Amino acid sequence: MIPASYIRRLGPLLEELKQRFYQNDRSGVAQESTAMNPDEKVLDSVFQTLVERLSRNYPFHHHRYAGQMLKPPHPAAWLAYALSMTVNPNNHALDGGPEASVMEKEVMERLTAWTGFPAGSLGHLTSSGTIANLEALWVARQLHPDRPVAISSLSHYTHRRMCGLLNHPVVEVPSGDDGFPDPSLLDPAAPLPGTLVVTLGTTGQGRVEPLHTLVRWAEEKGVRIHVDAAYGGFYYLLRKSGLIDPEPWEALPRADSLVIDPHKHGLQPYGCGSVLFRDPSAGRFYHHDSPYTYFTSDERHLGEISLECSRAGSAAVALWLTMELLSAEGLRSMLSDCRKAALKLHEGLMENDQFESLMRPELDIVTFVPRAKSSRCSEISMLSKKILKIGMQTDQLYLSTMDLDSQQVRRSLPGLEVDQDHVTVLRSVLMKPEHLSFVPEMLDRLNMLYRQADRN
């Protein structure tokens, strides 16, 4: 939740901001519209209804929520966003968000450094990772209109969807025995891809594709590399920690474009994605003119290098303040706790009589299955769904589920009886640092849920 110390600061800061806006205004305050000042009783009633409805959400802020990749923003981001919304800057143009646009350029310089991209790379924030990937694929199409985009079976579904939107061909790279894409298996008679999408941190299991080997193939073949690190990108900061395999991350600066979402591990409110291009000349594809928009400055406006037009400047303000307070070292510490929590849960599950982890997590997402009375896919799936439902209904533990290909799961569970084409497994995203100390209790709660589900 938002600490009281941040809430106490909001009122005085709002008053100070108001005074700064009106300090040179000698004309007095214009009469406000009655729509801005509704009846107090109506206001109280509607606000009470709002609070009641918002309270129906799951407790995303709490450590017992270990399901989807949802976490509360940093308190500094909450405060900065709320304060900035009184101005409501639009970062499409320097005219609509003069200071927020400068802040966006500053945070993009930091994101560039925090991901190893060279100084001077072209980039900007977006309203989501989906839009960020759309922009990267759009540039890929502009550069190679006659060559397909290559994805893997692990790629986020948005890539195939966005290629469809762009009316651009897409090809799936066959997987090797390790489940990762192996471009040597592509049809040699087919057109060579113009761009290969590599995922560092899949949204399902947090898989990290072998960028270090894929980029060598791409450089030899003249294929661009786009890295979708919307989820995992900030883990670049842990590449020297010994907690993750450093090789894929060390290759990140060799990618041609990158997507990373500050609204995930960057502790920002939705929506805040970003896209980076190592070659700043990619900006030429965005060239357009808007004579009624770009008129107070000859500097490059952010709208001149993005597909989106109006865009919340408050997202840049919130990210700027968070980066000022947290720094790369603070973010590294948070990520370290999340990574350790995932490893701790994995180890605890491997020693557990009632659950089994499917794989050693590569980031902070753990997938696991209950040990059902039989090893049939259908029974494991049914028990997983029961545990999910009971945990959420009783407010004991919030998990999520994921359907995996039965043959894929069989690699982890050799004794699996395949009686259906998929297995519903349990999934936990441990992206809150508080999860590290919660893991022992989480294991106890899982065992309790297993017993309850087994009785029903």
Decide if 395 is inside a domain: yes
**Based on the domain organization, do 307 and 359 belong to the same domain?**
no
Decide if 43 is inside a domain: no
Report, as an integer, the average pLDDT of 98-122. 95
Task: Return the structure tokens found at 47.
Answer: 């606000």
Q: Of 163, 171, 173, whose CA–CA distance to 140 is shortest? A: 163
**Based on the domain organization, do 357 and 322 belong to the same domain?**
no
**Based on the domain organization, do 172 and 276 belong to the same domain?**
yes
How distant, in Å, are the alpha carbons of 182, 186, 221 from that of 214? 8, 13, 11
Judged on CB neighbours under 10 Å (0-12, 13-18, 19+), 122 is buried
Decide if 209 is inside a domain: yes
pLDDT at 3: 79
**Based on the domain organization, do 317 and 365 belong to the same domain?**
no
**293 pLDDT tier (thresholds 50, 70, 90):** confident
**Based on the domain organization, do 267 and 126 belong to the same domain?**
yes
pLDDT, tens digit, 9 for 90 and up, residues 213-245: 999 999 999 999 999 999 999 999 999 999 999
**302 pLDDT tier (thresholds 50, 70, 90):** confident
pLDDT at 31: 66
**Based on the domain organization, do 364 and 237 belong to the same domain?**
no
Give residue 220's domain range: 84-284+300-326
Q: What does the alpha-carbon distance between residue 333 and residue 344 come to, in Å, rounded to a whole number? A: 16
Name, in order, each residue with C-beta under 8 angstroms of 221's C-beta and a sequence gap of 6 or more: 183, 192
**Based on the domain organization, do 268 and 380 belong to the same domain?**
no
CATH of the domain at 248: 3.40.640.10
**Based on the domain organization, do 322 and 356 belong to the same domain?**
no
pLDDT at 295: 67
Decide if 137 is inside a domain: yes
**Based on the domain organization, do 110 and 188 belong to the same domain?**
yes
**Based on the domain organization, do 269 and 198 belong to the same domain?**
yes
Q: What does the alpha-carbon distance between residue 114 and residue 125 come to, in Å, rounded to a whole number? A: 15
Q: What is the pTM of this model?
A: 0.93
Decide if 182 is inside a domain: yes
**How high is the mean pLDDT of the chain?**
93
pLDDT, tens digit, 9 for 90 and up, residues 404-440: 999 989 989 999 999 999 999 999 999 999 999 999 9
**104 pLDDT tier (thresholds 50, 70, 90):** very high
Judged on CB neighbours under 10 Å (0-12, 13-18, 19+), 23 is exposed
Decide if 39 is inside a domain: no
Task: Return the structure tokens found at 207.
Answer: 């898989």
CATH of the domain at 433: 3.90.1150.10
pLDDT at 20: 82
Please give the tally of structural domains in the chain. Answer: 2
**45 pLDDT tier (thresholds 50, 70, 90):** very high
Q: Does residue 115 register a pLDDT over 80?
A: yes
**Based on the domain organization, do 378 and 304 belong to the same domain?**
no
**Based on the domain organization, do 209 and 277 belong to the same domain?**
yes
Decide if 361 is inside a domain: yes
Decide if 53 is inside a domain: no
